Structure 1
Amino acid sequence: MADTATAQGFEPPALGEPYLLTPGPLTTAYSVKQAMLKDWGSWDGDFRAMTADMRRRLLALTGDRKSEYDCVPLQGSGSYCVEAMLGSFVPKDGKVLVLANGAYGLRAAQTMKYLGRAHTLIDKGDYLPPRGDEVGAALDADPAITHVLAIHCETSSGILNPVPEIAEVVKAKGRKLLVDSMSAFGAVPLDVNDIGYEAMVSSANKCIEGVPGFGFVIAKKSALEAAKGNSHSLSLDVHAQWAAMEKTGQWRFTPPTHVVAAFLEALKMHEAEGGVAGRGARYTRNRDVMVAGMRELGFETLLSDRWLSPIIVTFFCPAHEKFVFNRFYELMKDKGFIIYPGKLTVVDSFRVGCIGRMDEHVMRRVVEAAKQSLDEMGVDTAAPPATAIAERAKLAA
């Protein structure tokens, strides 16, 4: 019998491979994997042309019609790129307002400490996003703040933060916006005509559905020019990387050639699906089908529907005495699905990603696997502890 994903045009993972229900790395298409079967010379003209094509395709996703922005790929993980952005675009005498409501905002604040640069923090905990009025008040109270860092999608909880609202306030107050769109770019709109960010970062292995190995900065050309001499790091100097690419078409240091080839294939598939709108629509449907099914089993989401992202959803662990997350994880894996542990400090939770090469038919199978796993554990209800619900109500009030 044909796999339901295959019947809908989504091939299943290779034989024996589970679906990765994570915020990346994620399940990729066969053609993306196959693109890595050829070796490329990092200095060769063909690879330079690939890099230029990739940069053009990424810029096309921003809506930049005035050629005010440019794209700078950087080797390394997403956190490398966040550090590169902060170290390159924030002057040594600048100050950053970090907006945190989970692990990645807090990691950005930790990065600022390592950089030894001034920063302040709005920490909303796990349940709520930072809002425009709070940001405005903080900027009014501290004229020294030059930049605001917002996390587009905080994947430790699954919150989709109101970046347009934040951007409007930052612009009105005459400050500069930096965006960590690591897990949202490519599926959630981030049009420069609506959100005039100074710079933003994302990664190859997220919503574009490539494989890990590099990230990229998209920034105003004026900001790239002004970034000269700011960086604390040779390797993470965005201006130096940009200047080298503009002059030679090459990466300064050994590029992840196979990863770039895979990413180009992923970008072509992204375009064929309908770009940001098409990719976002599939992920949203994945989320809606999965959340509805999990709620029917008794699971409850950490967040209200208003803040649920189409990227990843956090669920409370059931209160049932026989529920053990590690056992649940292994049972789900045995059925072909790798879920993600929780990253909250207050309550026990787990996460289910909605992104990657899968559709709503796969998500229905995820729900069925969860039901079977609960049955095998002897868990007859997935309802969370009353204390978790009370904590959510208290913190969300």
Structure 2
Amino acid sequence: MEIKRNILLNPGPATTSDTVKFAQVMPDICPREKEFGDVMEFVSKELTNFVGSNDKYTTILFGGSGTASVEAILSSIVDDKTILIINNGAYGKRMCEIAEIYNLNYVEYKSSPIEEINLNELEEIIKTHNSKSLSGDKNLISHIAVIHHETTTGILNDIKAIGSICRKYEIDMIVDAMSSFAGIPIDMDEMNIKYLASSSNKCIQGMAGISFVIASTESLEKTKNIKPRNLYLNIYKQYSYFKDNYQMRFTPPVQVLYALKQAIIEAKEETIEKRYERYKECCKILWAGLDKLNLKKLVNEKASSMLLTSIIEPEIEGYNFDALHDYLYNKGFTIYPGKVASKNTFRIANIGQIYPENINKFIEVLEEYFTGIV
């Protein structure tokens, strides 16, 4: 059976291989059977292996979109101390919204959405806050939460440098790696990441529906006695239940887990290093094509992830994003509008099961559109 191939240039869900799609076509099975527990054990351990050792880290699986894993971390592990949230885009802002809903003690550090984080300024905020804590005015900062790849703009935050600051001040770092996990090499130990959130439908190239947290088991065990604020998204309870019998506490998305198993197999075959090289090669082709069409990028190349590019909408007569979207969609390419208030932009993500020839074709179709309206 041949499946129509659409090229998704939105920042997720990403384009998948046919083998990942077909992996969902399995005989019906009760997820409480050992056979399916073996699938979940494989998925959990192999996801961990991409970023760390199963001796020091563990993967906790949830059914849900990526936001579920971020909410699970924030609502499960922060006790009565303070979390510092770095907000330099829509997803940093979302973490602040979660913290607000759960009534967490949090400090928001607003950073530019299009420029690199000022690490000196970040460290100064920590020092100032903690000095007030010592005098009894504030709770000490126990955690820092940051987006790795902020898909609002395509900026890549320097989590290794932030991890070093966290090590200096004995702070646990939480990283939203939603659109960087399995696309950019990550070493949780080297980068000093205690909790990492991601999902099944971006650079791992699986289907949407699985959200997961990769956690330091040492840090996770320290959360055991925190009074629960949640039920479904409680990380320690999900981890404890899974550790004993490789089952989720609640019904998992069975078919999506089969697809994720296949996506993991394919990622291991390609390797994360080679996948990142493929993504970067696609990005270079994209950037060359944008230059040819005089389309300007929002974020400078040095700060870019090379996984997603925000493009400033051209101020030319006849241009309209919806018309551009529809033209490309009818040609088999899906793009997504921007999320930056200061500029009108649209975004092109070059993640998923796409290759240089797909990006070359996209540039050709993009040029056709702009030629037609000029």
**How does the TM-score come out when normalised to structure 1?**
0.89
Aligned runs of 1:351-362 on 2, under 5 Å? 351-362=347-358
* TM-superposed deviation, 1:148: 0.4
CA distance in 1, matches of 2:6, 2:341: 28
CA shift, 1:337, in A, is 0.4
Q: Does 1:120 align with 2:116?
A: no
Out of 357, 367, 374, the residue aligned to residue 370 of structure 2 is 374
Equivalences, count? 362
Aligned to 1:265: 262
What do the CA deviations read for 1:84-128 (whole angstroms, capped 9, x no partner)? 01111211x121111111100001011100010111111123211
Normalising by the residue count of structure 2, what TM-score does the alignment of the two structures yield? 0.94
Return the alpha-carbon distance in structure 2 between the equivalents of residues 231 and 364 of structure 1. Answer: 51
Q: 1:131 aligns with which of 107, 110, 118?
A: 118
Matched with 2:63 is 75
* Residue 170 (structure 1) shift: 1.2
Indicate which of 48, 52, 60 corresponds to 1:63. Answer: 52
Mark the CA change 1:37 to 1:307 in structure 2 (over 3 Å): closer, same or farther: same
1:230 Cα deviation after fit? 4.2
CA distance in 2, matches of 1:174, 1:56: 27
Letter in 1 for 2:50: L
Q: Is the CA contact 2:14–2:203 (under 8 Å) kept in the aligned structure 1?
A: no
Out of 69, 92, 107, the position equivalent to 1:105 is: 92
Counterpart residue number, 2:159: 163
Q: Indicate conservation of the 8 Å contact 2:160/2:192, yes or no.
A: no
The gaps in structure 1 that reach 5 residues or longer are: 1-12, 380-397
Could you list the per-position Cα deviations for residues 200-241 of structure 1 after superposition, in whole angstroms to 9, with x for gaps in the alignment?
Answer: 111000111001111111111122212223431100100000
Does the alignment pair 1:140 with 2:94? Answer: no
Cα distance, 1:14 vs. partner? 2.6
**1:33/1:370 Cα in 2 relative to 1: closer, same or farther (>3 Å)?**
same
1:196-345 mapped onto 2 (5 Å cutoff): 196-228=192-224, 229-274=226-271, 276-345=272-341
- CA distance in 2: counterparts of 1:136 and 1:114, whole angstroms: 26
Deviations 1:160-210 (Å, cap 9, x if unpaired)? Answer: 111111111111122111100011011112202311211111100011100
Structure 1 segments of 4+ aligned residues over 2 angstroms from their partners: 228-231
Q: Give the aligned partner of residue 383 of structure 1.
A: none
Q: Identify the range of structure 1 (211-220 vs 119-128) with the bigger mean alpha-carbon deviation.
A: 119-128
Q: Distance in 1 between matches of 2:109 and 2:318?
A: 38
Cα–Cα, structure 1 residues 179 and 226, in superposed 2: closer, same or farther, change >3 Å? same
Q: Using the alignment, how far apart are the partners of 1:230 and 1:305 within structure 2?
A: 45
- The amino acid across from 1:121 in the alignment is E
User: Residue in 2 aligned with 1:31?
Assistant: 19
1:274-301 Cα offsets, whole Å, 9 max, x none, are 2x21111111111111111111111010
**Aligned mates of 1:227, 1:278 — CA distance in 2:** 36
Unaligned runs of 5+ in 2: 131-139
Q: Do residues 48 (structure 1) and 37 (structure 2) align?
A: yes
Amino acid at match of 2:245: T
User: Which letter does structure 2 place at the counterpart of 1:195?
Assistant: M
Q: CA RMSD in A?
A: 1.3
C-alpha displacement of 1:248: 1.9
AA in 1 matched with 2:363 = V
> Partner of 1:392 in structure 2?
none
